[in-house]
Amino acid sequence: MLKGLDPAVPAALVLMFVFVAVRCGGSREPDFPPPPETRTEPVTETLHGEEITDPYRWLEDQDSPETRAFIAAQNAYTDQLLGNRPGREELREGLEKLLKVDVMGVPTEHGGRYFYSRRGADQDQPVIWVREGRDGAERVLLDPAEFSEDGSKAVSLEDISRDGKLVAYSIRSGGEDEVEIRFRNVASGKDLPDVLPRRRYFGIALLEKLHAYAYTEYGPQGPRLFLRRLGEKKARKLFGDGYGPEKIIYAREGEDGRWLVIHVLEGSAGRKTEVWLHDLEGRGAPRPVTTEIEATFSGQVAGGRLYLETNWQAPNGRVMVADAARPAVEGWRELIPERENAALQGFSLAGGRIYANYLENVQSHVIGYDPSGRQVDEIAVETIGTIGGMRGRWDSDEAFYTFSSFHVPTRIYRYDLTAGKRELWFAPEVPIDPDRFAVEQVRFTSKDGTEVPMFIVHRKGWEPDGDTPTLLYGYGGFRVSVLPRFSAVGATFVDRGGVYAVANLRGGGEFGEPWHQAGMLANKQHTFDDFIAAAEWLIAQRYTNPRRLAIYGGSNGGLLVGAAMTQRPDLFQAVVCAYPLLDMLRYDKFLVGRYWVPEYGTADDPEQFKWLRAYSPYHNVREGVDYPAVLFVTGDGDTRVAPLHARKMAALMQAKSALRRPVMLRYHEDEGHAGGTPLSQQIEDATELLTFLSWQLGMP
Spatial separation of the C-alpha atoms in residues 121 and 104, rounded to whole Å: 11
Q: What is the signed CA dihedral for 139, 142, 143, 146, rounded to 10 degrees? A: 130
- Cβ-count burial 19-53 (b if 16+ within 10 Å, e if not): eeeeebbeeeeeebeebbbbeeeeeeeeeeeeebe
| Residue 273 and residue 260 in contact, taking contact as beta carbons nearer than 8 Å | no
Q: 629-635 and 574-578 as β-strands: parallel, antiparallel, unpaired?
A: parallel
Question: Which DSSP string do the residues of 283-333 spell out, in sequence order?
Answer: SS--EEEESS--S-EEEEEETTEEEEEE-TT-TT-EEEEEETTB--GGG-E
Distance in angstroms (rounded) separating the CA atoms of residues 22 and 64: 24
The torsion angle over the Cα atoms of residues 688, 693, 694 and 698, rounded to 10 degrees, is: 160
Of 263, 458, 645, 673, the active-site residue reads 673
Is 673 noted as a catalytic residue in this protein?
Answer: yes
Rounded distance between C-alpha atoms, residue 264 and residue 274, angstroms: 5
Phi, psi (deg, nearest 5) at residue 589 = -90, -5
- The stretches of 83-164 forming alpha helices (DSSP H) are 88-99
365 is catalytic: no
Beta-bridge mates of residue 159: 168
Q: Facing residues of 127 across strands? A: 118
- C-beta separation of 631 from 608 below 8 A: no
The widest CA-to-CA distance across the chain, in whole angstroms, is 78
- Residue at 526: amino acid letter: H
**Count of C-beta atoms within a 10 Å radius of residue 254:** 24
Q: Find out whether 226 and 239 touch, Cβ atoms under 8 Å.
A: no
In sequence order, the 6+-apart residues with CB closer than 8 A to the CB of 12 are none
Count of CB atoms situated within 10 Å of the CB of 443: 11
Amino acid occupying residue 127: V
Distances (CA, A) of 121 to 96, 126, 351: 9, 10, 34
How many other C-beta atoms are found inside a 10 Å radius of the C-beta of residue 654? 22
125 three-class SS: coil
DSSP string across 164-197: SSEEEEEEEETT-S-EEEEEEETTT--EEEEEEE
DSSP designation for 68: H
Measured in Å, how far apart are the chain's first and last C-alpha atoms?
Answer: 22
Q: How many CA atoms are closer than 13 Å to the CA of 547, on its beta-carbon side?
A: 4
User: Minimal CA–CA distance to 280: which of 206, 215, 207?
Assistant: 207
Marked catalytic residue, from 555, 616, 657, 694 = 555
Q: Strands 236-239, 222-229: parallel, antiparallel or unpaired by DSSP? A: antiparallel
Contact yes or no for 215/225 (Cβ under 8 A): yes
Are the C-beta atoms of residues 32 and 22 closer than 8 Å to each other?
Answer: no
Question: Which amino acid is present at 587?
Answer: Y
Residues marked as catalytic: 555, 673
